[in-house]
């Protein structure tokens, strides 16, 4: 298994750092999937994460000037690594004004993702900073748990087909509702299903507000497009599209 | 006066004379430009603890006695530097000594396991006004003692907490002592006519000093604090130790981790710095030293205030290293113990150091008060002016049995920082137990003076004190 990548552009580096910060806020431990043309940060729905799951996808071309990888085998040309997301974001934080950043998969006593940063210092001699982030290689038999989640056929809920979204909280003493109007509805995949629905009818889901907050707080940049899909009383699915990163986040309903 | 003598009686064996060490003799050479003021110690038989003293004391009340005092004043911009020094020293331990002398006002701090020592000396020129005096007792035998003032960090640190606002608002600051009440008074004269006064109780305790020959170190680096600060960013606050590895071609600062397979364990980080980034670069011997991160951060905090370069003096692992800042107005020195590699690496001073330590802990365990004179031929000389009450056997990190023997009361009683020290010293003890290859911090202060006999649990003494009337005064010190 091999992986080497290099970023030289400052803007790309910044963007990658922001993505990594966002991931660090959303998930303590996550899986990094490396494939020839994409990088994915995955959090699969386990009890530990409270049932939320996350899938973030980056096109590697948009970030890395050099990118080489060799998966576990020719047939399965992918690498799955488990790491503590905060370690990566902290390592990238030191790369603020770096001349170049290299990431490699290495094995120093244990598998590591080595982030090597070349900093330009005042005295014009470059300083090299290395961070070895310990990772765990996920064996192939567990890969099936980490596949891209299929977006369920959803009714737009708590939003309706007329472009209204209501966020409601209820406590014993107070009930607050925020009404959003004039939102767009993306065209649904299956036209047949939607025809039967009454555009006025609301569908709703109860979710843990902390999880929603954690998701929203983790956002570092404004996405170009945000889609919220709700399956009645089951799950809410957020799909945020930035320029070259897409992030999908699933929050299950409270039982 | 009566109270004072009574107190001193309890500190050591009443029958034991105090074998004082004359500072000059053990050094061989002067360690400072300014020279060392020689302080004559009490002659034999004059130890405060001797019974004869009580008789003297009754006499003394009728004689003139001027207590030691300190009085100094500084401007608003100096307050920030002073406060930063205190903050930096608070990283070393929870106690601070104010030690005035003709060289200036020294702030000293030693951690309870004796692996770190910090001293910031403000020269008289730093202050707008600086007065100090020793106490003079007029009786048959002149005894001079300095202001032995020890403060708890918990008391003094909050006073210098918001340094930025202090800098903005404070026009001048006065610090003076009131020996009759054992108080240090800190007054801030702020804008708009506001005057803020803080009274801090101090405990009478003679400060410790470490003498470290910086000029004999084979490796010296001088670097701008900014560069070090950039290196520090690499490490998380959970990082306990950092390693400095030097060769004549480059310097590497890296995190020092035990090998572990835990994913959540710290990232291993390294930063290479080329020689041209240093103001002064002299490497005599390739070496790698490991020391505590916390104290390095403490030093950096202080250097931010002074903008002067930091000098690092060190040799081989095991020998303490010095971080210092030398400025016209002040001189700061942080002496840190470094991790020693193996016991087999017995450069003789080190092994001597170990045997000295064992001797000492034997003393402690047996609680013997035999006036054994343990002289030290160790590399670093210790100038110890009096028996420190707080010396807890846990200072010998390597000596596990001593740790066990320490017993909880002293640990708890000792100021706050022991809360953290036992954790790390116990951890190290576990390491030592676990691995056959013992890695230990070499302790800097070893059996220097024969004041060892005073290591009997001071708290036993306190226990008896509580029976007496005077313990009312004593009670005020228990907050430390």
Is the predicted pLDDT of residue B334 greater than 60, yes or no?
Answer: yes
Q: How confident is the model at residue B141 (pLDDT cuts 50, 70, 90)?
A: low
From its phi and psi, is residue A179 left (phi > 0), alpha (psi between -120 and 50) or beta?
A: beta
> B113, B421 in Cβ contact below 8 A?
yes
- Please, is B177 exposed, middle or buried when counting C-beta atoms within 10 Å of its C-beta (0-12, 13-18, 19+)? buried
A-chain residues near B236 (CB < 8 A): 90
Determine the distance in angstroms separating the CA of B328 from the nearest CA of chain A, rounded to an integer.
Answer: 26
* Helix, strand, coil percent values for chain A (each to nearest 5): 20, 40, 35
- pLDDT, mean of residues B394-403: 32
Is the predicted pLDDT of residue B60 greater than 60, yes or no?
Answer: no
A133 near B CB under 8 A: yes
Q: How confident is the model at residue B127 (pLDDT cuts 50, 70, 90)?
A: very high
Is the predicted pLDDT of residue B383 greater than 50, yes or no?
Answer: no
> A68, A3 in Cβ contact below 8 A?
yes
Determine the distance in angstroms separating the CA of B44 from the nearest CA of chain A, rounded to an integer.
Answer: 59
Give the span between the Cα atoms of B46 and A137, in whole angstroms: 72
How does B282-321 read in b/e, with b if 16+ C-beta sit within 10 Å? ebeeebbbbbbbbbbbbbbbbbebbebbbbbbbbbbbbbb
What's the gap between Cα A88 and its chain centre?
14
Instruction: Quote the mean pLDDT of chain B.
Output: 65
Asked if A121's CB is within 8 angstroms of B263's CB, the reply is: no
CA neighbor of B312 nearest in space, from B271, B269, B337, B281:
B281
Which of B263, B265, B279 best tests the A interface by mutation, with the highest count of A CBs <10 A? Answer: B263
pLDDT for position A4: 92
pLDDT for position B227: 79
Q: How confident is the model at residue B409 (pLDDT cuts 50, 70, 90)?
A: very low
Most confident stretch, A34-43, B34-43, B359-368, B391-400: A34-43
Identify which of A90, A112, A136 has the shortest CB distance to residue B236: A90
Alpha helices in B61-176 (DSSP H): 76-90, 153-156, 163-169
- Which is it for the CA torsion B176, B180, B182, B188, positive or negative? negative
A-chain residues near B269 (CB < 8 A): 91, 129-132
Is the predicted pLDDT of residue B120 greater than 90, yes or no?
Answer: yes
Is the predicted pLDDT of residue B270 greater than 70, yes or no?
Answer: yes
CB proximity list for B222: less than 8 A, separation 6 or greater: B278, B279, B280, B281, B309, B310, B311, B312
Per-residue pLDDT of chain A in tens (255 residues, 90 and over written 9): 889 999 998 888 888 888 888 888 888 888 888 888 888 888 876 666 567 778 888 888 888 899 998 888 888 888 888 888 888 888 888 887 788 899 999 887 788 899 998 887 666 667 888 888 888 888 877 776 666 666 555 544 555 555 566 666 666 666 666 677 666 666 554 444 444 455 556 666 777 777 777 787 777 667 777 777 777 777 777 777 777 778 888 877 776
Determine the distance in angstroms separating the CA of A27 from the nearest CA of chain B, rounded to an integer.
Answer: 13
Report the greatest alpha carbon distance in chain A: 70
Residue A243: how many other CB atoms lie within 10 Å: 11
| DSSP H or E segment with residue A13 | helix A10-26
Is the predicted pLDDT of residue B124 greater than 90, yes or no?
Answer: yes
pLDDT for position A192: 41
Identify which of B262, B269, B273 has the shortest CB distance to residue A127: B273
Asked if A134's CB is within 8 angstroms of B262's CB, the reply is: yes
What does the angle CA A4 – CA A8 – CA A14 come to, to the nearest 5 degrees? 100
How does A50-89 read in b/e, with b if 16+ C-beta sit within 10 Å? ebbbbbbbbebeebbeebebebeeeeeebbbbbbbbbbbb
Give the span between the Cα atoms of B456 and B453, in whole angstroms: 7
Instruction: List the single residue in B with minimal CA-CA distance to A137.
Output: B263
B267 near A CB under 8 A: yes
DSSP state of A155: B
Is the predicted pLDDT of residue B118 greater than 80, yes or no?
Answer: yes
List the 57-86 stretch of A: residues with Cβ below 8 A of B: 82-84
Of B350 and A67, which is predicted with more confidence? Answer: A67
Of A141 and B438, which is predicted with more confidence? Answer: A141
CB proximity list for B405: less than 8 A, separation 6 or greater: B361, B364, B365, B393
């Amino acid at each position: 298994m091999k992986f080497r990548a290099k970023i030289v552009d400052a803007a790309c580096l910044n963007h990658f750092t922001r993505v990594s910060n966002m991931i660090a806020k959303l998930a303590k431990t996550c899986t990094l999937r490396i494939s020839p043309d994409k990088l994915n940060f995955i959090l699969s729905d386990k009890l530990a994460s409270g049932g939320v799951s996350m899938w973030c996808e980056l096109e590697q071309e948009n970030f890395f000037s050099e990118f080489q990888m060799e998966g576990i085998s020719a047939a399965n040309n992918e690498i799955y690594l488990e790491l503590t997301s905060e370690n990566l974001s902290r390592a990238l934080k030191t790369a603020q004004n770096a001349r170049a950043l290299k990431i490699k998969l290495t094995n120093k006593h244990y598998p590591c993702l080595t982030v090597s940063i070349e900093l330009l210092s005042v005295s014009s001699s470059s300083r090299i900073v290395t961070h070895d982030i310990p990772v765990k290689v996920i064996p192939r038999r567990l890969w099936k748990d980490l596949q891209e989640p299929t977006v369920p056929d959803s009714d737009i809920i708590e939003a309706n087909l007329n472009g209204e979204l209501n966020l409601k909280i209820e406590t014993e003493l107070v009930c607050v509702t925020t009404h959003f109007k004039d939102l767009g509805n993306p065209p649904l995949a299956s036209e047949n299903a939607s025809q039967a629905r009454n555009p006025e009818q609301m569908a709703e889901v109860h979710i843990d507000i902390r999880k929603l907050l954690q998701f929203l707080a983790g956002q570092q940049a404004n996405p170009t497009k945000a889609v919220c899909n709700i399956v009645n009383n089951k799950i809410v699915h957020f799909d945020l599209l930035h320029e070259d990163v897409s992030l999908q986040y699933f929050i299950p309903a409270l039982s | 006066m009566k109270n004072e003598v009574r107190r001193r009686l309890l500190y050591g064996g009443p029958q034991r004379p105090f074998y004082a060490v004359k500072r000059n003799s053990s050094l061989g050479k002067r360690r400072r430009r300014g020279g060392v003021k020689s302080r004559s110690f009490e002659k034999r038989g004059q130890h405060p603890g001797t019974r004869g003293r009580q008789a003297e004391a009754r006499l003394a009340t009728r004689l003139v006695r001027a207590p030691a005092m300190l009085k100094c004043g500084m401007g608003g911009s100096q307050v920030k530097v002073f406060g930063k020094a205190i903050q930096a020293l608070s990283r070393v331990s929870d106690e601070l000594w104010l030690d005035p002398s003709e060289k200036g006002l020294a702030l000293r701090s030693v951690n309870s396991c004796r692996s770190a020592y910090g001293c910031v000396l403000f020269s008289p020129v730093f202050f707008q006004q600086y007065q100090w005096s020793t106490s003079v007792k007029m009786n048959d035998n002149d005894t001079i003692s300095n202001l032995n003032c020890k403060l708890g960090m918990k008391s003094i640190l909050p006073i210098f907490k918001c340094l930025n606002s202090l800098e903005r608002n404070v026009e001048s600051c006065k610090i003076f002592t009131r020996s009759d009440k054992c108080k240090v008074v800190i007054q801030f004269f702020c804008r708009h006519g506001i005057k803020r006064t803080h009274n801090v109780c101090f405990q009478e305790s003679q400060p410790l000093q470490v003498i470290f020959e910086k000029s004999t170190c084979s490796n010296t680096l001088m670097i701008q604090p900014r560069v070090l600060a950039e290196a520090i960013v690499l490490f998380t606050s959970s990082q306990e130790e950092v390693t400095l590895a030097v060769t004549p071609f480059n310097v590497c600062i890296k995190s020092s981790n035990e090998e572990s397979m835990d994913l959540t364990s710290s990232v291993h980080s390294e930063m290479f710095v080329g020689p041209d980034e240093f103001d002064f670069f002299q490497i005599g011997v390739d070496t790698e030293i490991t020391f505590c991160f916390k104290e390095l951060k403490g030093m950096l905090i202080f250097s931010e205030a002074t903008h002067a370069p930091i000098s690092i003096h060190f040799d081989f692992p095991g020998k303490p290293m010095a971080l210092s800042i030398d400025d016209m107005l002040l001189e700061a020195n942080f002496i840190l113990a470094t991790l020693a590699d193996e016991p087999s690496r017995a450069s003789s001073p080190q092994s001597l150091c170990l045997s000295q330590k064992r001797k000492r802990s034997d003393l402690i365990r047996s609680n013997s008060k035999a006036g054994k004179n343990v002289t030290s031929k160790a590399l670093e000389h210790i100038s110890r002016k009096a028996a420190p009450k707080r010396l807890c056997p846990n200072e010998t990190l390597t000596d596990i049995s001593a740790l066990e023997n320490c017993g909880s009361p002293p640990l708890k009683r000792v100021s706050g920082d022991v809360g953290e020290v036992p954790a790390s010293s116990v951890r190290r003890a576990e390491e030592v137990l676990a691995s056959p290859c013992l890695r230990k911090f070499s302790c800097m202060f070893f059996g220097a003076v024969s004041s060892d006999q005073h290591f009997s649990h001071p708290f036993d003494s306190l226990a008896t004190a509580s029976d007496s009337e005077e313990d009312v005064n004593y009670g005020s010190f228990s907050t430390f």
